[in-house]
Each structure stands twice: as C-alpha cells, then as structure tokens.
Amino acid sequence: MPREVLPGTLDLMVLKTLDTLGPTHGYGIAQRLIQISDGILDLNQGSLYPALLRMEQRGWISSDYGISENNRKARYYALTADGRKRLKTEIEQWKGMVQIMTRLIEA
Amino acid sequence: MPREVLPGTLDLMVLKTLDTLGPTHGYGIAQRLIQISDGILDLNQGSLYPALLRMEQRGWISSDYGISENNRKARYYALTADGRKRLKTEIEQWKGMVQIMTRLIEA
DNA sequence: ATACTCCTGTAGTTAAACTAAAGAAGCCAA
DNA sequence: TTGGCTTCTTTAGTTTAACTACAGGAGTAT
C-alpha cells in the first residue's frame, strides 16, 4: 500500500496552498489539495494536522481560531515571513530535484 | 539538516540506474548518481545498502558477486522482470506527482 | 609498512507519514 | 426532536525510509 503523498513534499504543498489562498483551515487545505490533484492527493488527517503543528512550532505558519464559511469553529493557518522564505527554498529544492530526475529518467 | 535524497525517490533512482547501466555494484550506483546530479546527490552508504537489500528481498533486483573494473570484489545488482515493472510504475507515479506539483506551484 | 581508494556491511536513531480512533458542533430531513 | 450527515479538529501509537556512525577487507601505490 503506497503512501498518499510523496514524502518530503507535504510541507511545500501546505505552504504553497496558504500562499495562494491566504489564511485557511486544515480541512480547507486538504480539500484544496484534493481539488488541484483531481482526487489523487487524498490526505489523511493523521498526516495533515501533525504537519501543521510541526510547521507552527518551526515558525513557518501561525494559527488563530475563527468561524468557517459553514459557520463552524475552525483553526485558520497563515504563512509567516519565515514560512514565505521556507516556501521559496522548498520550491527551489523541488525544481532542482525535478531537473535531476528528468536527466536520470531520460538517460 | 536536510536529507540527501528526496524520500521516496531512492528506489526509482537505483532501479533506473540499473536499467541504464546494466548490472552495477553499489559503489558504482552511488557514483552514477553523483555524476548525473553534478554532485548534489551524495548518497550515504547507510542509505544505499539497506535500500539494495530491501529491493532484493522484494524481488526487484538480484545480486551476484564479481570482480570490479578495479580488480576488487564487488556485488553486482541487476534488474529482475519484477524490477522492470516496478520501475515503470514508479516513473509513472513520479510524472503524475510532477504534474500535480507544477499545477500547484504555478497556481 | 602504511596510507589511500575501492567496496561492503550493519547497529542504532530520527522523523515523516501512516492507521485508527474519538469527539464537538452545526445542518437537515423524517 | 431525534438521528444522521458533514464539517472540522485532535492525538496515541505504528511503520519505515533514510540517516549517523561505525567497522573492516582487500588491492594499489609510495
């Protein structure tokens, strides 16, 4: 049974989602990833929420409680300045990796 | 301290290397990855050899002892039929992932 | 001899992603 | 008004890939 997400890419996906959408709750992030991947990235909550906690502890995101579009209590996460820096770094690393893999696969 | 390789891509890299080069020993695989990545993928032996063991146990590769180009004893690994199938699958998954990430990053 | 490169191996650790569960709270239909 | 559905969060415990940090044999060159 394969992992849902490619390990090492989850942080990038979450950070980029917050960058694009602005402050979003966990559930919304998960939905966004399902939508943008046509249902492929159906993320476990058991992966998402610990990841959000991790990133908040590292100072890449911050959180506040609020009320969702559906009138539920929800925890909204937002990129911090450090998170924006981190996102940039991760995108660069990702692109480097893609280049290497492309070279390898087409060899 | 970041990981040397993007987790989840090591098997693909090893399988593809064997596909391209034919039977190769562990040290040779590591060198190949250094070369094709311009020194970026400087793989730990502590990652490589356990990975080779894993893949042999799963039947994706087989091994035989031989003598290297430098006249040393070396263990040569080769793709099996299952390994070739697995490689195909992994490449497809990788390409799918690249597509999703591209869509995400460019959104 | 001794130092260097080539080549393999493994014990133990870390941490990311997982399974599996629980639960609160608003919405809606019977 | 009850019971089910959806939304949204949380956390305990497991797995496993990749890591650090070793150790060691064997050929080659000085």
Strand D at less than 7 A from CB of B54: yes
pLDDT for A75 beyond 90 = yes
pLDDT of residue A33: 97
User: What value does the mean pLDDT take over residues B30-57?
Assistant: 96
Cα–Cα distance between A8 and A43 in angstroms, integer? 14
Distance from CA of B20 to the nearest CA of A (A): 7
**Chain-chain contact of A16 with B97 (C-beta, under 8 angstroms):** no
Note whether A11 and A90 are within 8 A (CB).
yes
Cα–Cα distance between A87 and B57 in angstroms, integer? 38
Strand partners, A74: A66
**Nearest residue by alpha-carbon distance to C1' of C12:** B46
Please enumerate in sequence order all residues whose Cβ is within 8 A of that of A42, keeping only pairs 6 or more positions apart, or say none. Answer: A4, A34
Please tell me if residue A105 touches chain B, with a CB cutoff of 8 Å.
Answer: yes
Q: Looking at chain B from residue 18 to 77, which residues have their Cβ under 8 Å from any Cβ of chain A?
A: 20, 33, 36-37, 40-41
Note whether A72 and A27 are within 8 A (CB).
no
pLDDT of residue B107: 86
Nearest CB to A107: which of B9, B36, B104?
B36
B5-21: pLDDT as tens digits: 899 999 999 999 999 99
pLDDT for A1 beyond 60 = no
Please enumerate in sequence order all residues whose Cβ is within 8 A of that of B58, keeping only pairs 6 or more positions apart, or say none. Answer: B82, B86
Lowest mean pLDDT among A3-7, A75-79, B24-28: A3-7
Note whether B79 and B19 are within 8 A (CB).
yes
* Secondary structure letter of residue A70 according to DSSP: T
Q: What percent of chain B stands above pLDDT 90?
A: 93
Question: pTM for the complete prediction?
Answer: 0.92
Nearest CB to B101: which of A20, A94, A96?
A94
Task: For chain A, give every domain's residue range.
Answer: 3-106
* Adjacency order of strands within the sheet including A24-25: A24-25, A73-79, A61-67
Q: Is the domain A3-106 a CATH 1.10.10.60 member?
A: no
Strands B73-79 and B24-25: antiparallel
**Nearest residue by alpha-carbon distance to C1' of C14:** B3
b/e per residue B43-72 (b: at least 16 CB within 10 A): beeeebeebbeebbeeebbebeeeeeeeee
Interatomic CA–C1' length for residue A26 and nucleotide D8, angstroms: 8
User: In this predicted model, which residue has the larger pLDDT, A54 or B4?
Assistant: A54
**Chain-chain contact of A6 with B8 (C-beta, under 8 angstroms):** yes
pLDDT band at B1 (very low <50, low <70, confident <90, very high): low
pLDDT of residue A52: 98
